[in-house]
Structure 1
Amino acid sequence: MTAPQQPSPTDRSDADDIEQHACPKCDAQPGSPCRSRGGAVASAYHTRRFTTVPRLKKALRVPTPAGRNPGKPWRPGHTVPAAVDPDLPSADIRIGYARCSHLSQELDSQLDALSKHGIPRDKIFSEKISTRVRVRPQFEAALRTAREIKAHAPHCRVIFTVYEMKRLGRDAAELTALADHLTAHGLVLEMLAGPLPGIYDPTGAAPLLFAFFAAMAETERENIRESTLEGLDTAARKGKHGGRPPVITDDMLHTVLRRRANGESVEQIQPDLIIPTGKRKGRSPSVASVYRALAEHAKHEAYPEAVEQAHVDFAALQTGELPGPRTQPQTVR
């Protein structure tokens, strides 16, 4: 008598490994097979899901085992325990992220704190970018690296470490969504300083405290923004405007105008001009800068004449008489 055919161990192992991960296409959670648009168990796992398993990355199609009832109504399953490789050490793996808003600020203190916490430099991502910028390349790279490590080493605890909460952002909704995203992917959030130092625990009262301090961080950002705008407005009313000092000063422009009136060209005058302040102090401005300054000067010189002509035209319009060619003879019919 022929023994009944058993399910292929390879297929069973593939399914177990694939279902360790949620499906980004159909939102099937870990432990459940993929589902079709009609609400049934899909006949094959979605590509974006099974490629998270390293040995299946080059596979074109991975069929759903018969034990998952493909084609039948889909129901959530139970999480399959991850297989632990005894040759791999079970340890914490940390990914660090450091950020500051302005180019003039330094990241050294954050980088040093992350390094002292045991994170190697090649596992620390840093950038100088504002939290108001939604797409932060290094931040996205750090998250992607953490997810990849977790996919390849599910037995390890992957910890996403930052110096303090506001390095992640200052928007309460964004911070809360980020914490939920990390938890959904099996990642752990850790903060070295600030109001909530240590490992973030998504159970108990931790989410409530996290949401509270996230809201405080958002309020702090709005206060900083309002104070900055008020300071800029006050300085503008006093005639003080921010930005770099002009390359072509009034004295330099006067020199250019005087020498051009004597018949010299801009190319002849430019080497004799010296920038008095700024990063290019002691050097000559470019020819393009001189021409731009002359164009701006010509525009300001022409503006009062245009205003005066507009007043003349308006007065003539009030009296019913327009000067020159604007007066059109009336044709009697």
Structure 2
Amino acid sequence: MGELIGYVRVSKSDGSQILDLQKDALLISGVEVPMIYEDLASGKKDIRPGLEACLKALRSGDTLVVWKLDRLGRDLRHLVNTVDDLSKRGVGFKVLSGQTPIDTSTAQGKLMFGIFASLAEFERELIRERTIAGLASARARGRVGGRKPAMTPAKIRLAQAAMGKRETVISELCHELGVSRQTLYRYVSADGDLREDARKRLR
């Protein structure tokens, strides 16, 4: 049988009594003091080293115990993904109080795990669909996804003029433009002629 590992979190506005209440509830449920991780956070975007350490400490067969569901997640998306990750790792989950007490050792708790997994999959599909739609929209406007092109129209014109001169030193030109030799030749030939990529950027 795995370990019971607890996590408690309190915001600066909650006061220490809330933290004590959470700890007491975890102790009553069987979590030992050395196995309780805690954070003092003032907002949903705060870095939470206690939670990070807690999640790293969990092993397959262990059970994560929290006082209420809202103690675990920064927001709904973070909560759903965290619980889904616990399920995939073989870690149990127990919520002691609140509107949604959960215990994955029960049939109802296992059902809740399945719901969280479905929500996480739904979120991933939404992100995937948005990404595909965004790329399609960008292509329709003549752009492609990914990093911005290293060669701007101004750089292309400068490279075109410089490459047409015999005295131009390619390494120095690349340094001035902030691009690699390979990138330079993808846009402009050694004689200063524009290549297809350059013509697309200048349209």
Q: TM-score, normalised by structure 2?
A: 0.52
1:252 corresponds to which of 151, 155, 158:
155
Number of positions where the alignment pairs a residue of Structure 1 with one of Structure 2: 154
Cα distance change, pair 218–302 in 1 and its aligned pair in 2 (3 A): closer
Superposed CA deviations along residues 255-306 of structure 1, whole A, max 9, x for unmatched, are 22322323221344456x4xxxxxxxxxx51xxx252233213399678xxx
1:229 matches 2:132: yes
**Deviation, structure 1 residue 224:** 2.6
1:159 matches 2:54: no
Q: TM-score, normalised by structure 1?
A: 0.35
1:265 paired residue number: 169
Distance 2:97 2:44 in 1: 12
Cα distance change, pair 202–294 in 1 and its aligned pair in 2 (3 A): same
Question: 2:186 touches 2:195 (CA, 8 Å); kept in 1?
Answer: no
Structure 1 unaligned spans of 5+: 1-19, 22-88, 98-107, 115-120, 127-137, 151-156, 274-283, 304-333
1:94 corresponds to which of 27, 36, 40:
36
Q: Compare the two structures and name the one with the higher strand fraction.
A: 2
Mapping for residues 1-333 of structure 1, pairs under 5 Å: 90-91=32-33, 93-95=35-37, 109=44, 111=46, 121=49, 123-125=50-52, 141-144=56-59, 159=65, 162-163=72-73, 164-168=78-82, 176-178=87-89, 181-183=90-92, 188-190=93-95, 196=100, 199-262=102-165, 263-269=167-173, 273=176, 285=178, 289-297=179-187, 298=189
**Deviation, structure 1 residue 253:** 2.6
Q: Compare the two structures and name the one with the higher helix fraction.
A: 2
SS of the residue corresponding to residue 240 of structure 1 reads coil
Structure 2 unaligned spans of 5+: 3-30, 197-203
**Deviation, structure 1 residue 251:** 2.3
- Write the letter of the residue equivalent to 1:291: R
Distance 2:86 2:91 in 1: 11
Larger radius of gyration: 1
Question: 1:200 touches 1:206 (CA, 8 Å); kept in 2?
Answer: yes
- Write the letter of the residue equivalent to 1:143: L
**Deviation, structure 1 residue 232:** 1.5
Superposed CA deviations along residues 140-160 of structure 1, whole A, max 9, x for unmatched, are x3324x98xx8xxxxxx8637
Cα distance change, pair 290–257 in 1 and its aligned pair in 2 (3 A): farther
RMSD between superposed Cα atoms in Å: 4.6
